[in-house]
Amino acid sequence: MGLPIASGPSQPQPNTGKITGEKSPMELFTALNPATPLDVIVVGMNKELRESDWTVKDIPENLDKLRASLQVMHKEVLDKNAMRAAKATKATEKYEQCNVSEGDYVLWSRFDERYHPKLLVTWTGPYRIKEVGEFSVVLEHLVTHELREAHTSRIKLYAEDSFEVTEEILEHVSEQGIILKVKSIARHKFVPDVKDFMLEVLWEGFEDIESSWEPL
């Protein structure tokens, strides 16, 4: 639902003032206070107002002053944007670029407080690189084929894409601490020896017969 163009002025027209009770159609339609064209002019606090003589002979001079003022304002904005860009660039300079390509094999450093309570860096892998971004890469696990994203500062080159993945490499990777995802919990039981409950956990990506009993 829209207002006719004729209802746009904020003040009532002479021939409608008596009908609308000296209220503008916009105010009656929206119940909002009427706006004036001056409402869009923002004047800074504690600043003196300057009067300009807009006679015909002064128009070119005043227009040049206005354009110069706009150029100064725009330059300040551009300078601030340039400073932000320079700061962002400097913040990323400390990271060494990792020259890797899709298909290469890398080692990935991760923290696992379950195996390393002191948050020591552990290099795992190798992983195959599936995608290369500006500051991160997508790694593929050689056994589970799970994909994960890693920052380039957390990887180092292991071998190029011509590297042959042998059974020994796959066995080495499978013996590392693979992060498993729970598919479902089959059942539970109470173990008197430890005085605690145990859960039979089915793992995503593995057969049901490969389930394991885990402490609660």
pLDDT band at 105 (very low <50, low <70, confident <90, very high): very high
Alpha helix (H) ranges present in 52-197?
59-93, 167-174
Residue 204 C-beta-side C-alpha neighbours within 13 Å: 8
Nearest to 138 by CA among 174, 181, 102, 162: 102
pLDDT band at 203 (very low <50, low <70, confident <90, very high): confident
- The mean pLDDT of 47-76, rounded to a whole number, is 76
Share of the chain above pLDDT 70, in %: 68
Q: Burial code of 104-127, b = ≥16 C-beta within 10 A, e = fewer?
A: bbbbbbeeeeeeeeeeeeeebbbb
Helix, strand or coil, per DSSP, at residue 24: coil
Strands (E), the chain: 105-110, 122-132, 136-141, 147-151, 155-159, 182-191, 196-203, 212-215
The answer on pLDDT for 106 being more than 70 is: yes
Query: What's the confidence (pLDDT) of residue 7?
Result: 42
The DSSP-derived string for 131-145 is EE-SSEEEEEETTT-
Taking only the tens place, the pLDDT of each residue in 23-37 is: 777 777 777 777 666
Query: What's the confidence (pLDDT) of residue 2?
Result: 47
140 CA to centre of own chain: 23
pLDDT band at 97 (very low <50, low <70, confident <90, very high): low
pLDDT band at 121 (very low <50, low <70, confident <90, very high): low
Give the β-pairing of 136-141 and 122-132.
Answer: antiparallel
Residues 6+ apart with CB under 8 A from 99: 157
pLDDT band at 1 (very low <50, low <70, confident <90, very high): very low
Find the range with the poorest average confidence among 62-66, 157-161, 173-177, 204-208: 173-177
- The mean pLDDT of 63-86, rounded to a whole number, is 84
Bond prior to 126 in cis (omega within 30° of 0)? yes
Provide the residue ranges of all domains of the chain, joining segments of one domain with +. 7-37, 105-174, 182-215
Query: What's the confidence (pLDDT) of residue 39?
Result: 61
Query: What's the confidence (pLDDT) of residue 146?
Result: 86
Token output for 41: 């002019």
* 132 within 8 A of 184, measured Cβ to Cβ: no
Find the range with the poorest average confidence among 41-50, 149-158, 167-176, 188-197: 41-50
Supply the mean pLDDT for the chain: 75
* 26 within 8 A of 8, measured Cβ to Cβ: yes
58 CA to centre of own chain: 51
Query: What's the confidence (pLDDT) of residue 177?
Result: 62
- The mean pLDDT of 14-21, rounded to a whole number, is 54
How much is the pTM? 0.41
